[in-house]
């Protein structure tokens, strides 16, 4: 037993030692750019190296810096049978995991509080059109999810029952995420691809009046930037594909570079109104109610792949709310726009090529579009686009995993 006085001195000494250790730890954290507040409040949201993901064996920092040895290791890993077997996540996993929504959101590290007042006051509305690959959808939702936003999910009516049930189970865990009220059978390059977005737009418009912009995504998109206020653009040029991104202003008028790309079968009749080149962010009310846009929509239903020209065309219709005077000087390519980065196979080339728009795809191609691999990440993260298409977590999850870690770390470290 300590004497009474000695025991008190020992306790004070012990407390002083603990205090010194805490101060040293705190100073160490400050040197790395992290405050104690960050450590206590946000560290649990960081994707740690001890996560159970099988991709954790890869060094994402090295992959993002383009280190050849680590990229080769990642490439070899993705083609091994054992790795491919353990990365496949069945739909039933999500159905079971979402039985306890609180646990699901915690273990999956969803951001359930606004990370800044600026973001909280700048809510976004998303439509997400999906037909398969539940894992891709859930990881995309997690990457773009914040509580101030609102999300409409459209699952193709032809999708397997397990896909619908799993995605419905995921959305049911969030008050601001819901299934579209009028799902359709989506046909590739057909009008129903646009109709799916329009149905979500109507639901979003009727559900909330606070969001600032509408962004439409597909299940194989993934963000390259975090959720923050900024300028958005829709590309338009002679190329036959624009991607499926639209920024729609919900209220006041702002300007963005947005351009037309119109192509149809030559035997089709002309569109119902002259389509010129104003730069604009259009009001969602115009899309849903304007007579000229409704006439254009009816005409576009009889064209090939209308999703690739309709949005940019609307943005360049004279007189649309927020438009500017038509002028060719506003023309921009998909590389200069900031909406979505898509690598088309015929525009790829070796480094230094004067003809190539971007470097060769390091993943694989589907319908002449690059499905990104880990080797594409260094180049992608250097681009200014908001999203990129396509990713496939069932085929190359390392690309998605490292991009997830990069974005989450960037979002949290900027809070300090």
**Per-residue confidence (pLDDT) for residue 6, from 0 to 100:** 60
| DSSP assigned state of 361 | P
Active site residue 298: no
Q: 366-400 as b/e, with b when 16 or more CB fall inside 10 Å? A: eeebbbbbbbbbbebbeeebbbbbbbbbebbbbbb
**Per-residue confidence (pLDDT) for residue 228, from 0 to 100:** 58
The one catalytic residue in 70, 119, 308, 404 is 308
**Per-residue confidence (pLDDT) for residue 370, from 0 to 100:** 97
- Cα gap 319→140, rounded to integer Å: 35
pLDDT in tens, 328-345: 776 677 787 788 899 999
Half-sphere exposure of 186 (CA within 13 A, CB side): 25
Instruction: Report the 10 Å Cβ neighbour count for 254.
Output: 14
- Cα gap 115→146, rounded to integer Å: 8
Instruction: Report the 10 Å Cβ neighbour count for 200.
Output: 27
pLDDT in tens, 141-150: 999 999 999 9
pTM passes above 0.75: yes
The mean pLDDT of 61-88, rounded to a whole number, is 94
Q: Are strands 124-130 and 213-218 parallel, antiparallel or unpaired?
A: parallel
Does the pLDDT at position 260 exceed 60?
A: no
User: Angle, nearest 10°, between helix axes 192-207 and 291-300?
Assistant: 150
* Closest-CA residue to 162 (of 220, 93, 84, 217): 93
């Amino acid at each position: 037993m300590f004497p009474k006085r000695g025991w008190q001195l020992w306790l004070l000494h012990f407390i002083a030692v603990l205090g010194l250790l805490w101060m040293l730890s705190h100073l160490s954290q400050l040197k790395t750019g992290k405050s104690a507040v960050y450590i206590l409040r946000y560290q649990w949201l960081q994707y740690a190296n001890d996560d159970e993901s099988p991709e954790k064996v890869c060094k994402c920092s090295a992959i993002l810096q383009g280190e050849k040895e680590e990229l080769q290791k990642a490439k070899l890993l993705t083609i091994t049978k054992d790795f491919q077997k353990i990365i496949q996540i069945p739909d039933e996993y999500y159905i079971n995991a979402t039985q306890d929504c609180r646990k699901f959101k915690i273990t999956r590290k969803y951001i359930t509080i606004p990370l800044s007042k600026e973001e909280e006051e700048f809510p976004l509305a998303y439509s997400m059109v999906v037909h398969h690959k539940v894992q891709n959808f859930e990881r995309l939702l997690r990457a773009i999810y914040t509580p101030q936003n609102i999300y409409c999910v459209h699952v193709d009516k032809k999708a397997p029952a397990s896909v619908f049930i799993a995605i419905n189970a995921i959305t049911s865990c969030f008050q601001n995420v819901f299934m579209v009220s009028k799902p359709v059978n989506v046909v590739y390059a057909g009008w129903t691809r646009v109709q799916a977005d329009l149905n979500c737009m109507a639901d979003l418009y009727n559900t909330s009046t606070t969001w600032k912009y509408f962004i439409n995504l597909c299940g194989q998109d993934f963000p390259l930037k975090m959720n923050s206020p900024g300028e958005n653009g829709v590309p338009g040029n002679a190329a036959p594909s624009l991607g499926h991104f639209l920024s729609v202003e919900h209220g006041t008028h702002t300007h963005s570079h947005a351009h037309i790309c119109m192509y149809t079968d030559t035997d089709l009749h002309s569109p119902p109104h002259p389509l010129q080149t104003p730069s604009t962010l259009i009001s969602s009310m115009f899309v849903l109610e304007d007579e000229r846009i409704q006439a254009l929509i009816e005409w576009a239903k009889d064209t090939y792949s209308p999703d690739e020209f309709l949005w940019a065309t609307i943005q360049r219709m004279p007189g649309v709310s927020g438009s500017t005077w038509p002028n060719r000087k506003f023309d921009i390519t998909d590389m200069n726009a900031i909406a979505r980065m898509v690598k088309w196979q015929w525009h790829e080339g070796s480094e230094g090529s004067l003809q190539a728009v971007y470097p060769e795809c390091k993943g694989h191609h589907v319908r002449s579009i690059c499905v990104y691999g880990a080797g594409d990440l260094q180049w992608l993260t250097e681009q200014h686009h908001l999203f990129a298409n396509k990713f496939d977590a069932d085929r190359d999850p390392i690309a998605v995993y490292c991009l997830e870690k990069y974005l989450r770390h960037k979002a949290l470290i900027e809070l300090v």
